[in-house]
Structure 1
Amino acid sequence: MANQPAPLTRHLRIRREREHTVLEFHGEIDIAAAAQITPYLDRATTRPGARVVIDLSGVDFFDCSGLRLLYRARSRVLSQGGELRLVCTHPLTLRILKVTGLARLLPPQPTLEAALGQPEAASGPV
């Protein structure tokens, strides 16, 4: 059963679900939001073997600061032998992920359910 804690910032909620840490991003993910999110992201991605899902389904705007957060999370999780999964359905954000090549490294899933059910090796090194 998932718990629903209060937001840590107006841009981030974190909860545990099926042995994964789920980071839900909300609103506009720009440089100001990234500065608020980074300490929590770092804490969630520093544990050895961390299983993390970043859920972008509540995001209205996503710029290069958001991309840096995703690359940072991926690098930190993989260096600790963990896994990172991504949920994203917003057309413009999906386009950014595809154009930058991040969609190949971190394949976006349409729902949290799909991300939690995808194979373990989906976020491995390429």
Structure 2
Amino acid sequence: MRREPVPLARHLSVYEDRGHTVLELRGEIDIASAARIGPFLDRVTGRPGIRLVVDLRPVEFFDCSGLRLLYRARVRVLERGGQLHLVCTHPLTLRVFRVTGLARLLPPLPSLDEAVARSEAASGSL
């Protein structure tokens, strides 16, 4: 059952969807917003076995501070036996992921449904 996102900050909403924690980032993800998002992201990624989806579709601007957030989240989730999937459709953000190599480590998916399906397939839940 999907619930509407509950705003935690101007740039972040979190909700549960089919057994996954979904973090929806919005607006401009830069050094200032990353500083506010980081502590919350650390709390979420500290949970053992978390199934996390980071949804960047509402993001309008994404710089290297956002890349650091995602890379740190990926490392923390994998260290704790969890799964992390990324949803992104913005052409400029996708280009940043390809150029920096993050797309190889955290392949962007076009929809939340595809991210959840990929997670369920990886865990054998299908």
Same-fold status (TM-score > 0.5): yes
TM-score normalised to structure 2 length: 0.93
- Report the equivalent of 1:64: 64
- Report the equivalent of 1:10: 10
Deviation at residue 2 of structure 1 after TM alignment = 1.2
- Report the equivalent of 1:76: 76
Deviation at residue 64 of structure 1 after TM alignment = 0.2
- Report the equivalent of 2:102: 102
Runs of 4+ in 1 over 6 A off after TM superposition: none
* In structure 2, C-alpha distance between the alignment counterparts of 1:120 and 1:92, rounded to whole Å: 28
Q: How many residues align?
A: 121
**AA matched with 2:73:** A
Helix, strand or coil at the partner of 2:59: strand
**AA matched with 1:120:** A
Alignment map for 1:1-126 (pairs within 5 Å): 1-118=1-118, 119-120=121-122
Q: List gaps (5 residues or longer) in structure 2.
A: none
Helix, strand or coil at the partner of 1:7: strand
Q: List gaps (5 residues or longer) in structure 1.
A: 122-126
Identity of aligned residues (%): 64
TM-score normalised to structure 1 length: 0.93
* In structure 2, C-alpha distance between the alignment counterparts of 1:5 and 1:113, rounded to whole Å: 16
**AA matched with 1:52:** L
